[in-house]
Amino acid sequence: MMALSASPPADGSLITRLPPVRGRYAVDVDLAAVTWFRAGGRAEVVFRPADAEDLARFLAEKPADVPVTVIGVGSNLLVRDGGVAGVVVRLVRSFATVSVEGTSLRCGAGALDSAVSETALRAGIAGLEFLSGVPGTIGGALRMNAGAYGRETRDVLVEAEVVTPAGEVRRLPAAALGLTYRHCALEEGVIFTAAHLQGEAGDPEKIAARVAEVKASRSETQPVRARTGGSTFKNPPGAKAWELIDRAGCRGLTLGRAQVSPLHCNFLINTGGATAAELEALGEEVRRRVREATGVDLEWEIRRIGRPASEDGHD
């Protein structure tokens, strides 16, 4: 991997076509190393912007034909084995701040959901305990209206800060995001950079007890120590995905080195050396069996990006 800033070398690669930045470019980055599945291909270029201004300038000045993909900590993500063309944006450091203002919090999009919950706990702010059970970052929580244990991101969101594909920095009220179950109505190219979340004054002991309850429940019912990507499929209206998967006889089902978790069958597991293709194919087999057994067509919750290995130019 080659780390670069400002002027890239004139070697004819994508990096030579990108604008100068204050952050960092890195070439040919192994994305499997940063995803929770520990599977998948490489990024052509990764860009870690210094701040929202740096990100906005990059988007405004990059060539129009260069695709941009945003990833967080890779908790609910499957990168296909052929890798990701163009530029992958990762928000780190300056985007991971969390500050308290009364009973509300200002959070960078790169802040871990669990860190936001812990900050709220220390400040005696109630209502954000559910975030301790959501793996990932605030940016991901905004993009998919993440939720757990009876609450969703939209329940606590006041406004979000974004950068548009054209490089425009904007603040949007919660209602403008069109948040519904595991869905945000903003176009995919809009990048979240920060959020304003609202809680309420609470008893720190009660908040701590609720956080402990959420963490214990997650540890007991989900394969949190396995190489997994979190909940694989969205819950269909009026049903639970895991129950449908169980009814279709998929608990513990394996394909190559990929497995449906025996503990919670809405989780896929890399048992060791699984390819992204194996994990995705297992997910599709689960969808097929559930459709045949119940008539329900499960919808992926895990975000899948990139190209299959057959399209990477090396197979």
Distance CA 51, CA 238 (A): 42
Distance CA 198, CA 101 (A): 9
In sequence order, the β-bridge partners of residue 107 are 98, 195
Which of 104, 132, 231, 261 is labelled catalytic? Answer: 231
- For residue 289, give Cα distances in angstroms to 42, 201, 268, 284: 31, 47, 15, 9
24 is catalytic: no
Query: In whole angstroms, what separates CA 80 from the centre of its chain?
Result: 15
Residue with tokens 């993500």: 77
Token code pair at residue 158:
């006041």
Token code pair at residue 208:
């701590």
Token code pair at residue 107:
């959070």
Which of 42, 48, 143, 182 is labelled catalytic? Answer: 182
161 is catalytic: no
311 is catalytic: no
Residues 161/236, Cβ–Cβ less than 8 Å = no
Residue 169: how many other CB atoms lie within 10 Å: 14
Q: Which of 146, 138, 142, 214 is nearest to 182 (CA)?
A: 146
Q: Which of 60, 61, 33 is nearest to 46 (CA)?
A: 33
Active-site amino acid positions: 182, 231, 301
